[in-house]
Homo-oligomer: A and B are copies of this chain.
């Protein structure tokens, strides 16, 4: 039976990697549908993503790629199309990103399994009521119980076998250890065109600065919620007549589309970490 796979990897650059990997796929009766690659001249790293179909068994494929990975010092990930990534959503009061992600998942646009929603507010604080069968976890948090609450979330991540955590406007400071535990598998949406307007109330900062465009940034989480490798950014024009509330409103649209796009790219293995940056094979 023919199965669709996506392989993504990074490794030290050298001549012949594409030939070796594509040759190995061909030898296993594979047909490459999409191939993206990038050599970073700064880090000397090579990045590649490949979608292919083959009727070879998964075990055989993993054996072959495993051997190749060892010889090329690859950091690699192989997924078949029918494996749906398992996702945990974290949210606070503003739920426009949550509503958007739920709808896109329901109609099959985002190919993921939402296994739970965590909020530091009760379910009644949400505007969206349409959670379906998705379990909702109210885990309130404050300075006094942050460690315990984060441990609960990490417990869910482990118990639910979560592949990706999405901070869908989860307005909480994260501890370094929490961020480190989720490195590379946690995406945040920041309501600012980073690196501008880090810190609190970015739309109010934008208003005070008289900028003519506002933006939002999706990035992998690191210790600092205002930093981390950027996956995607977008902006919209604003004018002198836009008050802070207008910026918040316009920002919601930007946040929704930036986060949903970053998530869809991550799910499709189009995003690879490259130090404090990302490589994004978005076409």
Contact = CB atoms under 8 A, between A and B. Distances in A.
Interface of A: 15-16, 18-19, 22-23, 25-26, 29-35, 37-41, 96, 99, 103, 106-107, 109, 127-130, 132, 193-197, 209-213, 215, 229-235, 239-241, 243, 249, 252-253, 257, 274, 276-280, 282-283
B35 A25 contact: no
Q: Give the 5 A-B CB pairs with smallest separation, nearest first.
A: A210-B277, A130-B130, A19-B26, A19-B22, A15-B31
| Copies of the chain in the assembly | 4
The binding surface of chain A is classed by DSSP as mixed
A266 B159 CA distance: 49
Given A25-B19, A196-B193, A240 B279 contact: yes
Nearest to A272: B240
A262 to B, nearest CB: 10
A48 to B, nearest CB: 9
A23 B27 CA distance: 13
A194 B215 contact: no
Contact of A106 (B127, B229, B233): B127
18 contacts: A18-B32, A19-B19, A19-B23, A22-B22, A33-B39, A41-B243, A103-B128, A106-B127, A193-B196, A196-B196, A209-B230, A209-B277, A210-B229, A212-B230, A212-B233, A213-B235, A240-B280, A283-B283
A210 B18 contact: no
A278 B129 contact: no
A230 B210 contact: yes
Greatest chain B CB density within 10 A among A96, A132, A193 is at A193
Contacts of A19: 19, 22-23, 25-26
A229 B234 CA distance: 23
Contacts of A274: 210, 240
Contacts of A212: 230-233, 280
Nearest to A210: B277
A116 to B, nearest CB: 19
A206 to B, nearest CB: 9
Contact of A15 (B30, B103, B197): B30
Contacts of A39: 33
